[in-house]
């Protein structure tokens, strides 16, 4: 089974959703830069204060803030790891390559029109980071997380105008990583429209 997996794909492609399933079923440790940054913002740390304005605008947080943070977190992991939201620029990918060999880059491919509808209807748990959708993945009780009972909220950057900016940023800065990992021979692209469980079946084949 692959041990170091980069989850690639535009905002809303299902990196968090599929990453959560891989963690539940196979015990991978999921390191999500987005979750870490949102926690830092909530806690008002130095990192959070610096990152907030970029995140609110749908822009990327500067590489120097992210690379150091991720190198530290990666060192602490023993066993299979999912990198969700990292890497996002060629500079980040080069920096990761210095400390770790990537076994698999899973690229979740979804058209932009579907991403906008997925993100504007997403609800997230601030306590355990589980993600839901108002239509395709409803919580059992409205507004309450199935896993931990947390009160679900809408992320500030899931408003339509910010989502459009995030998609532009993705196409400009992160899409080039598809070629980057293809050249390294580790890329698997998964067409990711359709049912969450059907996509997970393809993911399971890819990690073998």
Catalytic residues: 15, 88, 122, 155, 166
Taking the C-alpha atoms of residue 129 and residue 145, their distance in angstroms, rounded to an integer, is 9
Residue 80 binds ligand AP5, judged by CB under 6 A: no
Task: Give the x-and-dash track for 89-108 against ligand AP5 (CB under 6 A).
Answer: ---x----------------
* Minimum distance of ligand AP5 from residue 183's CB (angstroms): 20
Taking the C-alpha atoms of residue 38 and residue 25, their distance in angstroms, rounded to an integer, is 25
Residue 178 binds ligand AP5, judged by CB under 6 A: no
Residue 21 binds ligand AP5, judged by CB under 6 A: no
Sign of the four-CA dihedral 111, 114, 13, 91: positive
By CB under 6 A, what part of segment 103-142 binds ligand AP5?
A: 118-119, 122, 131-133, 136-137
Q: CB-wise, 86 or 180, nearer to ligand AP5?
A: 86
Helix (H, G, I), strand (E, B) or coil at 69: helix
Residue 82 binds ligand AP5, judged by CB under 6 A: no
Residue 34 binds ligand AP5, judged by CB under 6 A: yes
Beta bridge partners of 109: 191
> What is the size of the binding site for ligand AP5 (CB under 6 A)?
36
Query: Buried b / exposed e across 65-96, counting CB within 10 Å, b at 16+?
Result: bbbebbeebbeebeebbbbbbbbbbeebbebb
């Amino acid at each position: 089974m692959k041990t170091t997996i980069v989850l690639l794909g535009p905002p809303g492609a299902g990196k968090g959703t599929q990453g959560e399933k891989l963690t539940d079923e196979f015990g991978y440790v999921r390191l999500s830069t987005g979750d870490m940054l949102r926690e830092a913002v909530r806690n008002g740390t130095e990192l959070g204060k610096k990152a907030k304005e970029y995140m609110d605008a749908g822009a990327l947080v500067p590489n120097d803030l992210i690379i150091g943070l991720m190198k530290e977190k990666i060192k602490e992991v023993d066993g299979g790891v999912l990198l969700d939201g990292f890497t996002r620029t060629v500079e980040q990918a080069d920096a990761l390559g210095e400390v770790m060999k990537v076994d698999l880059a899973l690229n979740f491919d979804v058209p932009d029109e579907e991403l906008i509808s997925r993100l504007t209807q997403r609800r997230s748990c601030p306590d355990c980071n589980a993600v839901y959708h108002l239509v395709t993945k409803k919580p059992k009780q409205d507004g309450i997380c199935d896993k931990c009972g947390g009160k679900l909220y809408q992320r500030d950057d899931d408003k339509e105008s910010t989502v459009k900016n995030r998609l532009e940023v993705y196409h400009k800065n992160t899409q080039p990583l598809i070629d980057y990992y293809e050249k390294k021979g580790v890329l698997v692209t998964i067409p990711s429209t359709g049912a969450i469980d059907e996509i997970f079946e393809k993911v399971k084949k890819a990690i073998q």
